[in-house]
């Protein structure tokens, strides 16, 4: 019900994350499963395809992995430099880096 409204994938993922952090996921378990299933099926149009958004990619990666979906770690390759380090341009993206840390 709550997650069926017309909102983008990032907003749905943020809502799921908030529900889990508040300890309410038991009450919304079926909706969370359904939403994550839809996101995993339609990954070509979800937030992880936004190559400039580390926050969205890490959030999607973490939530899908936590719920048993197979997500390749290569989704983060676009955020790495030639040496294999995080791109310097992302050093100020604290929200994205924190979500990357939580996803690891």
Q: Could you state, in order of their start, the residue ranges of all structural domains in the chain?
A: 7-103
CATH number of 7-103: 1.50.10.130
Return phi, psi of residue 76, to 5°.
-95, 0
Tens-place pLDDT, residues 13-66: 999 999 999 999 999 999 999 999 998 887 755 555 567 899 999 999 999 999
H helix or E strand, kind and range, residue 74:
none
pTM here is: 0.85
Would you give the distance in Å from CA 1 to the centre of its chain? 21
């Amino acid at each position: 019900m709550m997650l069926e409204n017309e909102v983008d994938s990032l907003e749905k993922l943020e809502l799921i994350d908030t529900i889990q952090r508040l300890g309410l996921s038991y009450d919304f378990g079926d909706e969370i499963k359904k939403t994550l299933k839809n996101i995993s099926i339609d990954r070509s149009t979800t937030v992880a395809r936004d190559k400039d958004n580390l926050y969205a990619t890490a959030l999607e990666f973490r939530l899908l992995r936590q719920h048993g979906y197979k997500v390749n770690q290569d989704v983060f390759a676009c955020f790495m430099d030639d040496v294999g380090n995080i791109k310097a341009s992302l050093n100020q993206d604290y929200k994205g880096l924190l979500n990357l840390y939580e996803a690891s």
